[in-house]
Amino acid sequence: MPDASKAVLMIAASESDSNMLYATRFFVPDPFIFLKIAGKKIIIMSDLEVDRAKSQAKADEVLSFSRLSETLKSAGLKNPSSIDIINHLLKKHGIRSVEVPGNFPVEYADKIRERGFKLFPKPEPFFDERTVKSLKEITEITKTLRVTEEAIQEAVNVLQESKIRGDYLFHNGKKLTAESIKKIINVELMKRDCVAAHTIVAPGIQGCDPHNEGSGPLLANQSIIMDVFPHSMTTHYYADITRTVVRGRASDKLKRMFDAVREGQAIGFRMIRAGADGSEVHRAIQQYFDGLGFKTGEVNGRMQGFFHGTGHGLGLDVHEPPRLGAKKDILKAGQVVTNEPGLYYPDAGGIRLEDLLVVEKNGSTNLTRFPKYLEI
Amino acid sequence: MPDASKAVLMIAASESDSNMLYATRFFVPDPFIFLKIAGKKIIIMSDLEVDRAKSQAKADEVLSFSRLSETLKSAGLKNPSSIDIINHLLKKHGIRSVEVPGNFPVEYADKIRERGFKLFPKPEPFFDERTVKSLKEITEITKTLRVTEEAIQEAVNVLQESKIRGDYLFHNGKKLTAESIKKIINVELMKRDCVAAHTIVAPGIQGCDPHNEGSGPLLANQSIIMDVFPHSMTTHYYADITRTVVRGRASDKLKRMFDAVREGQAIGFRMIRAGADGSEVHRAIQQYFDGLGFKTGEVNGRMQGFFHGTGHGLGLDVHEPPRLGAKKDILKAGQVVTNEPGLYYPDAGGIRLEDLLVVEKNGSTNLTRFPKYLEI
């Protein structure tokens, strides 16, 4: 059994665990067992899922949990558990040790180890090949991205059409809010079969917390960060894009921040390529901002400047390896990563621009088409 | 330290882990550390999240990951990891053993145990009190349910207005499909700030796989199962409802199945109460179907009859304890559970009806208002 040392075990729901989805391409809301033994993928499904699995799942063998359970019962076991079934299958194939994902549940790990098996957790990326995307995967990501750009365009149209009265923006007689713009984006996405779990439309100082979703009225002459990262309901591939606009006039500081972020992002475009170290890209942008006088650090108990990473991998998860941040991470051709520097100062507002790139041998291709402008 | 033995540790992203969301009520897309020590909740946040956490999270202490990291660096550690920080905080509080959720990642568990700590995984429900809902939680679930009923009403309206031409249904000149009805439901939900990750609109034989989402044209005189289970984007509380309709005329067998499922559900309504065993409710419905001649089992390699559970708890997860299925599970007052028997025969179609109940001392309250009818 030459492959025995590389047996793989997962117990997860593919609707929430991207490694399980990657391995099976089959959406299941409840956890099930996956084994890879001697190169063969085996999944063990409940009565509820077994027939659908046979027609839809990418697996070499679909076994019935209840049928395996009956087998163990007739061998004398009273109430066979998932662990009993795993024990039975591993022994049957002469497997003594298995590799599991880093996020494998410790409660199952303990019980499997108690049966005498060796269990080796492997950190992300569990499937090394997952970080490098096939052309088909890049096509799926691009499809989600195009839909996302259409949804952002709808939001920009409404902002552009809005009337400025005093500090507020009005559209069809109604005051525009972060919530109303988020709803436009999310509904337009859903019309196109994409789901945004959270969409950020963060005005002014709210945008200085980069993960603040945003709430309340949108004001004129104020930065509005729109960060949209939905996935396709049919393929589960994500996209991720951020634009920052001002309805009305931006302050001089905001304009300088916008130019700096655009130039910082351009540093990323120049440096990102196969073999580049993500942390060097990140540091180069940090240093560029620093040189312009846009300092990063805590002021009055609050972080300001550029205090998040420059980018992250994206695919079946919105955040996956590699990272372009503080830690060394060598980029590979075919990875899809974001390039998203930002600057945040409570006295001016927040600016973030985010595009999606494919890493290539001699550079990168920007998948994002949406234009960049500040004042609308 | 009387509470030391009950220290709790979690490492998870609250956007995908409901226990973390339950404990902190704070949405974060990336994993962070949660500790409960001597009754106090401590969370350790990245620079990106620390300020938002201070204003939004339900925690007694919000610590900065990078500041703790600096402390450890000045004590001589080179690149402090999450594990180093957990090690530091547990030692500082004199903690030697911690309780973790069953789904705690084994890669972290191994590293924490290597440092000499005892780690006890606790299966679901990790927070016992989570299965019993407060009035506020029941209100949130009900809000999601009302929105879901509105979305299903929109779908039923379109089906009712459709014209039958040959076998197909037409609305505004277009052939109705499972996809088009799903889109109506999902967009209506999104307009009301609820997200459906998957919605089932399964016609005819497709509905005989209870988790088949459904695809292709909807036919007249055929069962159409609509199972809708979105969550609120603001609170993350789910709802879950299923209705089955026929546009046109149902066959006699489908009508008998519908009546049987409605009567089976009525058995659930009568039996569900605090102290009842979910598996007895399930068995009573199974036996009722069996007595009517609606047998359950594999026929020609395919499951048919009633081959899923009768119900499940619901809250921040769509499926959570308790279960009304094959295994004993004693219901408690305040739990919110589904009551969803179904019958599936490839020669007739599928019927499922699902309501949402609050378990009470002397019975239950049905939260669902949507009427039940077959032919439309």
Length of chain B, please? 376
Q: Do A187 and B183 touch (CB under 8 A)?
A: no
Chain A residues in contact with B109 by the CB 8 A cut-off are 106, 109
Q: Do A307 and B48 touch (CB under 8 A)?
A: yes
Specify the pairing of strand B336-339 against strand B342-345: unpaired
Q: Identify the closest residue of chain B to A124 by CA–CA distance.
A: B107
Selected residue with higher pLDDT from A359 and A55: A359
Instruction: Give this prediction's pTM.
Output: 0.93
Picking from B223, B201, B204, B222, the residue whose alpha carbon sits closest to that of residue B213 is B201
Q: Is B50 on the interface with A (CB under 8 A)?
A: yes
Q: Identify the closest residue of chain B to A186 by CA–CA distance.
A: B190
Q: Do A302 and B106 touch (CB under 8 A)?
A: no
Residue with the two structure tokens 């969370």: B43
Query: Mutual orientation of helices B65-74 and B82-92 as an angle, nearest 10°?
Result: 80
Residue B181 to residue B176: CA distance in whole angstroms:
7
Q: Do B198 and A233 touch (CB under 8 A)?
A: yes
Band the pLDDT of A237: cuts 50, 70, 90: very high
Q: Is A297 on the interface with B (CB under 8 A)?
A: no
A165-218 per-position pLDDT tens digit: 999 999 999 999 999 999 999 999 999 999 998 899 999 999 999 889 999 999
Sequence-distant (≥ 6) Cβ neighbours of residue A302 within 8 angstroms = A208, A346, B51
Mean pLDDT confidence for A219-234: 97
- For residue A175, give the 3-state DSSP assignment: strand
Q: Is B16 on the interface with A (CB under 8 A)?
A: yes
Chain A residues in contact with B104 by the CB 8 A cut-off are 105-107
pLDDT (0 to 100) of residue B3: 43
Strand partners, B99: B8, B120
Residue with the two structure tokens 């009722």: B288
| DSSP 8-state symbol, A202 | E
pLDDT (0 to 100) of residue B48: 85
Chain A residues in contact with B105 by the CB 8 A cut-off are 102-106, 121
Sequence-distant (≥ 6) Cβ neighbours of residue B78 within 8 angstroms = none
Residue A5 pLDDT exceeds 80: no
Chain B residues in contact with A48 by the CB 8 A cut-off are 210-211, 303, 307-308
Residue B87 to residue B113: CA distance in whole angstroms:
10
Looking at chain B from residue 331 to 360, which residues have their Cβ under 8 Å from any Cβ of chain A? none
Residue A4 pLDDT exceeds 50: no
Sequence-distant (≥ 6) Cβ neighbours of residue A271 within 8 angstroms = A280, A281, A284
Q: Is A191 on the interface with B (CB under 8 A)?
A: yes
> Which residue in B123, B193, B319 is closest to A29 by CB distance?
B319
SS3 string, chain B, reads: CCCHHHCEEEEECCCCCHHHHHHHCCCCCCCEEEEEECCEEEEEECCCCHHHHHHHCCCCEEEEHHHHHHHHHHCCCCCCCHHHHHHHHHHHCCCCEEEEECCCEHHHHHHHHHCCCEEEEECCCCCHHHCECCHHHHHHHHHHHHHHHHHHHHHHHHHHHCEEECCEEEECCEECEHHHHHHHHHHHHHHCCEECCCEEEEEHHHHHCCCCCCCCECECCCEEEEEECCEECCCCCECCEEEEEECCCCCHHHHHHHHHHHHHHHHHHHHCCCCCEHHHHHHHHHHHHHHCCCCCEEECCEEEECCCCCEEECCCCCCEEEEECCCCCECCCCEEEEECCEEEECCCEEEECEEEEEEECCEEEECCCCCCCCEC
- For residue A210, give the 3-state DSSP assignment: coil
Q: Do B308 and A107 touch (CB under 8 A)?
A: no
Q: Is B49 on the interface with A (CB under 8 A)?
A: yes
- For residue A319, give the 3-state DSSP assignment: coil
Pick the residue of A211, A231, A242, A308 with the most B CBs within 10 A to test the interface with B by mutation: A211
Q: Is B180 on the interface with A (CB under 8 A)?
A: no
* Amino acid making up residue B280: E
Mean pLDDT confidence for A124-148: 97
Beta-carbon contacts below 8 Å between A and B:
123
A346-356 per-position pLDDT tens digit: 999 999 999 99
A287-322 per-position pLDDT tens digit: 999 999 999 999 988 899 999 999 999 999 999 999
Band the pLDDT of A1: cuts 50, 70, 90: very low
> Which residue in A50, A106, A193 is closest to B104 by CB distance?
A106
ipTM: 0.92
Residue with the two structure tokens 């196109």: A192
Q: Identify the closest residue of chain B to A232 by CA–CA distance.
A: B197
**Cβ-based burial of A349 (10 A; exposed 0-12, middle 13-18, buried ≥19):** buried
HSE-CB of B79 using CA atoms within 13 angstroms: 3
pLDDT < 70 stretches in chain B: 1-5
Check if the beta carbon of residue B159 is closer than 8 Å to that of residue B180: no
A65-80 per-position pLDDT tens digit: 999 999 999 999 999 9
Residue B101 to residue B97: CA distance in whole angstroms:
14
> Which residue in A196, A197, A211 is closest to B48 by CB distance?
A211
pLDDT (0 to 100) of residue A2: 38
Q: Nearest-CA distance from B276 to chain A in Å?
A: 22
Q: Identify the closest residue of chain A to B102 by CA–CA distance.
A: A107
> Which residue in A105, A119, A302 is closest to B51 by CB distance?
A302
